[in-house]
Amino acid sequence: MSFRVNRRRFMAASAGLATGAAAARVVPAGTGQWGDLTGRLVYEGAAPERKKLKVDKDVDCCGKYDIRDESLMVGPEGGLANVYVYVRSRRVKICPELEEAVGDKVLLDNRDCIFKPHCMTVWITKQVYHIVNSDPIAQNVAFSPLGDVPANIIMPPKGDPVDWKFRRSQSIPVLVKCNYHPWESAYVLPKDHPYVAITDMDGVFRIPRLPTGELEFQVWQERTGYVDTPQWRRGRFKLTIQPGTNDLGTIKLPPALFAR
C-alpha cells in the first residue's frame, strides 16, 4: 500500500527543521482504520548543563538531594525528552482497543522533594489524577486548568492519596507547583482522548491506534511552549494518517528555540 500525505502542509512543517524527516514514511500493516505515528526529536547541539536548583525549605530533608532544572532534558545521544506531541483535532474517533486497555489512574508522586514524573497526561473521561506524597514532610500540589476547578491540595507526610478528577480538556499542558517548595514543578495535560505522547530520553515518541485520515497535531515543550518556528507555526502540523506505522523520522530542533 502506498502512502499519501498532504505534502504541502507537512513539508511546510518539516522543511528547515528536519534532517531525514521530509515526509512521513509508512510501514504498511494491512488494511484498517487505525495507524500509529512515530518520530524522534533531537536537540541540535551540545546538551546544556542542567542548573542545580536552590533548595531553601525543609533543608534537613530536601537538602540531601541533587535537585536539577528539568525544563530542558537532553539525553546522551541528543534526544529531547518531555516534549508533548498530541492530536489537536476535535471530536477525534477513538480506537475501542485503547478504551478497553486504559488504566483508571495516572500517578503523580511527591518523592525526593520533586514531582515524579515531570510530565504526564490524563484521559479525563477514563482516568483520575492520583496524587501521592511519599516524602516524610508536608507537600502541596497546586494547579489551575483553564475553565476548570483549580486545586490547592495539602498533602501530609506519607498521608492518604488524593484522586483528582479533571472536567475539561486542555489545549496545552497545565503547570503543577508546590507552594511550600518553589523549586518543585511538573506538567499535566488533561485531554478528552488518549492521543498524547511524551518523548523519552532518546527523543522518541509513539502515538498508537490513531484514526486514519487527516489530523492536526500540536508539539509543545515547557521551555519554549509551542515549538514555534517559521515552518511549524505555533507548533502545529497536519498529516494524513494511513494504516500501519507513520514515521516522521528524526527532527532536529535548534538550541535557539529553547534559549531563555
Question: Tens digit of pLDDT for each residue in 157-201?
Answer: 999 999 999 999 999 999 999 999 999 999 999 999 999 999 999
Instruction: For 59-70, write each residue's pLDDT tens digit.
Output: 999 999 999 999
Q: What does the pLDDT average to over 3-26?
A: 40
User: What is the rounded CA–CA span in Å between residue 160 and residue 10?
Assistant: 48
- How far apart (Å, rounded) are the C-alpha atoms in residues 117 and 114? 9
CATH number reported for the structural domain that contains residue 115 in this entry: 2.60.40.420
Averaged pLDDT score across all residues of the chain: 90
Residue 52: inside a domain, yes or no? yes
Strand 185-191: give its sheet, edge to edge: 119-123, 185-191, 174-177, 139-143, 151-155
- Kindly state whether residue 2 falls inside one of the protein's structural domains: no
Does 203 reside within a domain?
A: yes
The overall pTM is greater than 0.85? yes
Residue 189 lies in a domain: yes
More confident residue, 101 or 229: 101
Alpha-carbon gap, residue 260 to 254, rounded angstroms: 13
Q: How far apart are CA 14 and CA 9, in angstroms?
A: 9
* Residue 97 main-chain phi, psi, to 5 deg: -60, -35
Describe the strand order of the beta sheet including 204-211 as a list of residue ranges: 25-27, 244-253, 34-43, 204-211
Is residue 72 within 8 Å of 223, Cβ to Cβ? yes
Which tens digit of pLDDT belongs to each residue from 111-144? 999 999 999 999 999 999 999 999 999 999 999 9
Residue 251 belongs to some domain of the structure: yes
Number of domains in the chain: 1
